[in-house]
Amino acid sequence: MADAVQKQSQELATQLWAIANELRGNMDASKFKNYILGVIFYRYLSEKTESYMNDLLKDDGISYRDALKNEEFAPTVKEWSIEHLGYIIEPKYLWASLIDEIRGAEFSIEHFDKAISALVESTIGQESEAAFDKLFDDMNLQDKDLGKEVSERTALIAKVMQKVDDISFNVDDAEMDVLGTAYMILISLFASDAGKKGGEFFTPTCASKLLARLAAVGLDEVKNAADSCAGSGSLLLEVQNHLSTKKVGHFYATEKNGSNYNLLRMNLLMHGVPYKKFSCFNSDSIKTDNYYENGEPLMFDIQVENPPYSAKFDQSPKLLDDPRFSSCGVLAPQGKADLMFVESMVYHMSEDGRIAVLLPSGALFRGKQGKNGGKNDAEYDIRKHLIEDLNVVDAIIGLPAKMFHGAKLPVIVMVLKKKRNGNSDNILFIDASKYFTPEKTMNVITDEDIDRIVDAYVNRSEIDKFSHVAYMDELERNDYNCNIPRYVDSFEKEPPVDIDAQTKIIQNCDTQSAEINKQLSAFLKELGLEV
């Protein structure tokens, strides 16, 4: 099955890249991806509508298209569509109808624009409004980069739509999420093409899988899961995949970047998460805490996060009044928000909650205690607070360098729990930095590597040059410096050099060289040449 999925993914990648080339010459990659993703997403919503509503109407012996034309059925069908799907797509705006128009040379980009507007407008005033609000804003069909004239824009988008139509998407296929896979392939392609800009919204699949497995280990289902730097939502979706029942009661996500916020909501919907099952926020998660309900903080069973590394933030004194940061009493340096993201997650961690977060390795050792007992760096304070006062740091795992698009520095995974299951007096350190497979410009952690890491974590194994259980007195002796090489010595010594043997080799070389020179001189003499 895995080989078949991989082959299908490769075919999809080829097809999707061909679609990209239709727009490639017209605009920057960071912009034209929005049109491709928007078209794919619209097709998904349309085909999902027909499939879902036809199934609901099966016992009535009428199709969705005919029901909307029937005065008796139409009001009820519209109500059902809003209730179950969150939106309405009229028959004339269905994907198949638009494709028929293209084939009949009757298509207009303005008609497609009206179709999108009608979909979004159908959600206004409904429970689904927040999930669809401004969802297609990044796909501006009036953009002159698509063509100066309406006819040019129509021709270009029609080509893209036809190529998308050629791809075999099956929204009812439970074995293989073809459309979702295509979506992630596209994100990966553009992340690779755009470097750091792409990396803002794409966490490599292997990293997502590792975090999800660490957070979900031993769990069947969870009440909720959250990611406050959600990007495209890949981490949350991986969490769902690694629960034995694949059941998450509700997803909570925050994303600062507006375009990525749209990608997030699209991705959740495209992976079958109903609009009632997620709450997404477009804001800065350090500046604004969105996770409150009836004045009380929400507590999460699982939190995963890949926050922007060493991010700058507004060091407003008001943040010290924020309960997420007030318990420590200090704010991180302005350009190093890493541990503040961790503090925010810990504040919202339920009693049985788990956290798995990716951080730059510097967050483990930056800052130290001052000579007179004072502190000269807030990161020291926060790190000690998490380890000693809150006692929530369960494991620290070092990963290879060059795992992320546009980033060469190594990263680490920090796993945090309130209930430490008898391990409250120690922290597990794992050095997995040498376990990877090079692929083009990136290093990839294989499933075998992930198994090795997760097994060591679950068993809290002491493995030479790989993992070590460090007790609190050891951490205290190291002044809460958690740099992994302090705890796991993965240095491979060079084999000892036999000086005598090497000397003999050199002497033999000298002897052989002298003999060769002697023979060469004899040859030159025979030829009458001066030596």
CA-only gyration radius of the chain, Å = 29
How far apart are the C-alpha atoms of 468 and 448, rounded to whole Å?
20
493 in a structural domain: no
My answer on whether 437 and 321 are in the same domain is: yes
CB 271 within 8 A of CB 244: no
Burial class (CB in 10 A: 0-12, 13-18, 19+), 84: middle
H or E stretch including 292? strand 292-293
Res 178: pLDDT: 58
Segment 361-380 mean pLDDT: 75
My answer on whether 510 and 480 are in the same domain is: no
Domain end, chosen from 194, 217, 248, is at 194
My answer on whether 482 and 503 are in the same domain is: no
Q: What is the CATH number of the domain that holds 292?
A: 3.40.50.150
Q: How does the average pLDDT of the chain come out, rounded?
A: 87
The DSSP symbol for 148 reads: S
Residue 376: band (very low, low, confident or very high) from pLDDT cuts 50, 70, 90: low
Q: What is the CATH number of the domain that holds 92?
A: 1.20.1260.30
Please report the sign of the dihedral spanned by the C-alpha atoms of residue 474, residue 475, residue 476, residue 477.
positive
Residue 326: band (very low, low, confident or very high) from pLDDT cuts 50, 70, 90: very high
Q: What is the tally of structural domains in the chain? A: 3
Res 37: pLDDT: 86
How far apart are the C-alpha atoms of 479 and 489, rounded to whole Å?
18
What is the span of the domain harbouring residue 335?
199-486
My answer on whether 107 and 235 are in the same domain is: no
**490-506 confidence digits (pLDDT tens):** 655 556 666 777 777 77
Q: Would strands 442-444 and 437-439 be described as parallel, antiparallel, or unpaired?
A: antiparallel
235 in a structural domain: yes
CB 215 within 8 A of CB 304: yes
How far apart are the C-alpha atoms of 62 and 60, rounded to whole Å?
6
Provide the 3-class DSSP secondary structure of residue 361.
helix
**391-443 confidence digits (pLDDT tens):** 999 999 999 998 876 667 889 999 999 999 899 999 999 999 999 988 877 88
How far apart are the C-alpha atoms of 433 and 429, rounded to whole Å?
12
My answer on whether 188 and 208 are in the same domain is: no
The DSSP symbol for 275 reads: G
Res 284: pLDDT: 95
Which residue has tokens 């080829």? 14
**210-219 confidence digits (pLDDT tens):** 999 999 999 9
| Short-list 216, 169, 186, CA closest to 13 | 186
Residue of higher predicted confidence among 254 and 368: 254
Domain end, chosen from 157, 172, 194, is at 194
How far apart are the C-alpha atoms of 66 and 36, rounded to whole Å?
30
My answer on whether 222 and 160 are in the same domain is: no
Domain end, chosen from 194, 221, 243, is at 194
My answer on whether 113 and 210 are in the same domain is: no
Residue 120 in tokens: 């979004």
My answer on whether 298 and 435 are in the same domain is: yes
Q: For residue 96, is pLDDT > 60?
A: yes
How far apart are the C-alpha atoms of 516 and 283, rounded to whole Å?
77
My answer on whether 506 and 477 are in the same domain is: no
Which residue has tokens 């995949």? 241
How far apart are the C-alpha atoms of 505 and 276, rounded to whole Å?
76
Residue 514: band (very low, low, confident or very high) from pLDDT cuts 50, 70, 90: confident
**440-490 confidence digits (pLDDT tens):** 778 889 999 999 999 999 999 999 999 999 999 999 999 999 999 999 986
Res 17: pLDDT: 80
Give every CB contact of residue 302 below 8 A, 6+ residues apart in sequence.
215, 216, 219, 222, 224, 225, 226, 239, 248, 353, 354, 355
Res 197: pLDDT: 46
Ranges 7-21, 83-97, 425-439, 495-509: which has the least confidence: 495-509
How far apart are the C-alpha atoms of 172 and 258, rounded to whole Å?
30
311 in a structural domain: yes
How far apart are the C-alpha atoms of 477 and 395, rounded to whole Å?
18
404 in a structural domain: yes
My answer on whether 190 and 88 are in the same domain is: yes
Q: Helix H segments across 286-394?
A: 323-326, 338-347, 378-384
Res 511: pLDDT: 80
My answer on whether 302 and 153 are in the same domain is: no
Q: For residue 34, is pLDDT > 90?
A: no
The DSSP symbol for 428 reads: E
Let me know how many helices (H) and strands (E) the chain has, helices first. 19, 13
Its pTM surpasses 0.85: yes
My answer on whether 188 and 211 are in the same domain is: no
Ranges 32-36, 64-68, 179-183, 525-529: which has the least confidence: 179-183
Res 181: pLDDT: 66
Q: Would strands 393-398 and 426-431 be described as parallel, antiparallel, or unpaired?
A: parallel
Q: For residue 175, is pLDDT > 50?
A: no
